[in-house]
Chains A and B, each alone.
Chain A
Amino acid sequence: MSSATHRAIEAVWRIESAKIVAGVARMVRDIGLAEELAQDALVAALEHWPDAGVPNNPGAWLMATAKNRALDRLRRDRNFEDKREQYGQDLEALEALIVPDFVDALDAARQDQIGDDLLRLIFTACHPVLSTDARLALTLRLLGGLSTDEIARAFLVPEPTIAQRIVRAKRTLAAARVPFEVPRGAELAARLGSVLEVIYLIFNEGYTATSGEDWMRPALCDEALRLGRVLAELASDEPEVHGLVALMELQASRAAARVDAAGRPVLLLDQPRARWDPLLIRRGLTALERAENLGGALGPYALQAAIAACHARARTADQTDWPRIAALYDALAQTAPSPVVELNRAVAVSMAFGPAAGLAIVDALLAEPALQSYHWLPGVRGDLLAKLGRHHEAHGAFEQAAALARNARERELLLQRAAASLTAGDAAPIIGHQNKTGDSP
């Protein structure tokens, strides 16, 4: 077999597999079986294409082959009558065997918010009946067309673990009789939240990858971005989808500037902005605009994107619009309150309105149980105290922060600041305040 054809088939599979699994799943109402049948079609392609050549429309070929297998399977399914019973109100759906477009008409009649197979597949793979780990693996497998080996490498776990996770996830979906549908009405918002969370978790998993790790890890960022862009077309009237895409585009735009030549992380305000990717910034700002144009109050993803956009728009760190960022954190703290958001708000407020205003917010957080071992809390506090000239207290806060820091380099920086506070000199900023290196064009 020609290996070029083999690689071409693999590429076609990457492009088409999600659509095929989704199309077949609409017929058989079981994504595990649908994937199996889609795989059968792939095997058929591997048998035929090396001799016959890749067809002009390989996607249609695979789809037709998979759907034929599905028909065969359903016809000879001995439990056909059981299934009729099992599906109950979905009885008509099985008429798809006779009139393939009937299901579409049925769904239109049921006023599915978005009657698209791919969208159903995304919602099913991210169903809350599954654990978060299972949702991530199943989404990458079914929507991304990644192999279990690739997913395992991306998450730094053994391949059998992922294989098992996917098998169990499919079983769970079947056992819970999760319908292959896009949720409607009030349920949609919560279920969409799960889909967005899964995509953002995939993105962050890739974003935290360090150099020297398997390239599949950073590739997760690209895959999450791709999934987000796909979703933005499928659910184009959902502002938070565009908000998430905007957030990921803007964060990805900084990827090249996030670490220095030695592989050490560089804080946002210290990053050389010339290395931020202008194309991704433009795409991020456009996506944010789409979210804003849909009207209504911005959701948590769009708000975070709007904050990232403030940084992206500033040509230098000095030109950052801190009052706007503080206002956006205000809104975020109301929409999605969390102690970490509150701490970020404190930093933004201190940058916009002075260290005393920021310190008031930080001090209110000191009793927060969730932040008791979070080194950034005393770290930020120490920084604000130092700026207010309260060096003795700053020293204590930095020492406390250093004791909590898990990363050796961060600990070292915090101890340096603690020592500097003792001598009451001007300490180097820890979160990049009074940035001196970010003034590149």
Chain B
Amino acid sequence: MRFMILVKATPGSEAGEMPEEALIAAMADYHEQLVKAGVLLDAAGLQPSAKGWRIRHAGGSARVVDGPFAESKELVAGYTLIQVRSREEALEWTRRFPAPHGSGVDCEIEVRQLFEMDDFGPSDAAKRFHDMGVGV
């Protein structure tokens, strides 16, 4: 089963502050552990929302809204995708995740499980999703 570890943004990360060397080292150590355990699938940091945009659907039409966006703790600043054998194993790995913006900086990481093929069950609609490549 796959889990995505979402690192939420902070005012600092949204302002484009780059992480300090010690934090990069801590992140590298942690991700090295994931690689050595054979559980890391993918990881990336995201640029501030000022460089992104949203497509807002409202009243039956879609509109482009440029960043930056407020409420930084709701924004995603990076992700780490892992594949593990149980929910508890994912919990244990995420417990070990370093403070993502350095110690002393309040922030959150959020963990979400990915849908797997079987989660959809047998149905015509689910099959169409599969054919689109959704859900593994």
Query: How distant is the Cα of A227 from the Cα of B38 in the complex, in angstroms?
Result: 7
Q: Does chain A have a CB within 8 A of B59?
A: no
Q: Judging by beta carbons under 8 Å apart, are B117 and A256 in contact?
A: yes
Q: Judging by beta carbons under 8 Å apart, are B92 and A261 in contact?
A: no
Q: Does chain A have a CB within 8 A of B88?
A: yes
B123 to chain A, nearest CB (A): 10
Q: Judging by beta carbons under 8 Å apart, are A279 and B41 in contact?
A: yes
Q: Judging by beta carbons under 8 Å apart, are A11 and B35 in contact?
A: no
Q: Does chain A have a CB within 8 A of B122?
A: yes
A 1-17 binary contact with B (CB < 8 Å = 1; else 0): 00000011011101100
Q: Judging by beta carbons under 8 Å apart, are B38 and A225 in contact?
A: yes
Q: Does chain B have a CB within 8 A of A226?
A: yes
With both beta carbons as reference points, the residue of chain B lying nearest to A218 in the complex is identified as B118
What residues on A are CB-neighbors of B57 within 8 Å?
A: none
Q: Judging by beta carbons under 8 Å apart, are B133 and A275 in contact?
A: yes
Query: How distant is the Cα of A184 from the Cα of B86 in the complex, in angstroms?
Result: 37
What residues on B are CB-neighbors of A7 within 8 Å?
A: 86, 88
Known: A15-B92, A261-B122. A256 touches B130 (CB 8 A): yes
Query: How distant is the Cα of A226 from the Cα of B117 in the complex, in angstroms?
Result: 20
B24 to chain A, nearest CB (A): 20
Query: How distant is the Cα of A279 from the Cα of B117 in the complex, in angstroms?
Result: 15
Q: List residues 247-286 of chain A with CB under 8 A from any CB of chain B.
A: 256, 261, 272, 274-279, 283
Number of interface residues of B (CB under 8 A): 24
A interface majority secondary structure: helix
Among B36, B41, B85, B132, contact of A230 (Cβ-Cβ < 8 Å): B36
Q: Does chain A have a CB within 8 A of B39?
A: yes
Q: Does chain B have a CB within 8 A of A40?
A: no
Known: A229-B35, A274-B131. A14 touches B85 (CB 8 A): yes
With both beta carbons as reference points, the residue of chain A lying nearest to B41 in the complex is identified as A279
B 110-136 binary contact with A (CB < 8 Å = 1; else 0): 000000010000100001001111001
Interface size class of A (residues with CB under 8 A): 20 to 34
Among B93, B132, B136, contact of A277 (Cβ-Cβ < 8 Å): B136
Query: How distant is the Cα of A317 from the Cα of B84 in the complex, in angstroms?
Result: 33
Q: Judging by beta carbons under 8 Å apart, are A256 and B136 in contact?
A: yes
Q: Does chain B have a CB within 8 A of A222?
A: yes
Q: Does chain B have a CB within 8 A of A213?
A: no
Q: List residues 73-91 of chain B with CB under 8 A from any CB of chain A.
A: 81, 83, 85-86, 88-89, 91
Q: Does chain A have a CB within 8 A of B66?
A: no
Q: Does chain A have a CB within 8 A of B42?
A: yes
Query: How distant is the Cα of A343 from the Cα of B91 in the complex, in angstroms?
Result: 48
What residues on B are CB-neighbors of A283 within 8 Å?
A: 41
Query: How distant is the Cα of A58 from the Cα of B96 in the complex, in angstroms?
Result: 10
Q: Does chain A have a CB within 8 A of B37?
A: yes
Q: Judging by beta carbons under 8 Å apart, are B38 and A14 in contact?
A: no
B interface majority secondary structure: mixed
Among B36, B93, B132, contact of A274 (Cβ-Cβ < 8 Å): B132
Q: Judging by beta carbons under 8 Å apart, are A226 and B39 in contact?
A: yes
What residues on A are CB-neighbors of B133 within 8 Å?
A: 274-276, 278
Q: Does chain B have a CB within 8 A of A228?
A: yes
Query: How distant is the Cα of A8 from the Cα of B38 in the complex, in angstroms?
Result: 19
Query: How distant is the Cα of A215 from the Cα of B13 in the complex, in angstroms?
Result: 42
With both beta carbons as reference points, the residue of chain B lying nearest to A10 in the complex is identified as B88
Q: Judging by beta carbons under 8 Å apart, are A230 and B38 in contact?
A: yes
Q: Judging by beta carbons under 8 Å apart, are A219 and B131 in contact?
A: no
What residues on B are CB-neighbors of A225 within 8 Å?
A: 38
What residues on A are CB-neighbors of B81 within 8 Å?
A: 279
B43 to chain A, nearest CB (A): 12
A259 to chain B, nearest CB (A): 10
What residues on B are CB-neighbors of A149 within 8 Å?
A: none
What residues on B are CB-neighbors of A234 within 8 Å?
A: 36
Q: Judging by beta carbons under 8 Å apart, are A226 and B38 in contact?
A: yes
Q: Judging by beta carbons under 8 Å apart, are B42 and A233 in contact?
A: no
Q: Judging by beta carbons under 8 Å apart, are B83 and A222 in contact?
A: yes
Q: List residues 395-441 of chain A with CB under 8 A from any CB of chain B.
A: 440
B67 to chain A, nearest CB (A): 26
Among B92, B130, B131, contact of A8 (Cβ-Cβ < 8 Å): B92
Among A12, A233, A277, A278, contact of B92 (Cβ-Cβ < 8 Å): A12
Among B37, B92, B131, contact of A272 (Cβ-Cβ < 8 Å): B131
Query: How distant is the Cα of A283 from the Cα of B81 in the complex, in angstroms?
Result: 13
What residues on A are CB-neighbors of B89 within 8 Å?
A: 11, 14-15
What residues on B are CB-neighbors of A272 within 8 Å?
A: 131
Q: What are 6 contact pairs spanning A and B, CB under 8 A?
A: A11-B89, A222-B83, A261-B127, A274-B131, A275-B130, A276-B133
Leading 3 A-B pairs by shortest Cβ distance: A11-B88, A229-B38, A226-B38
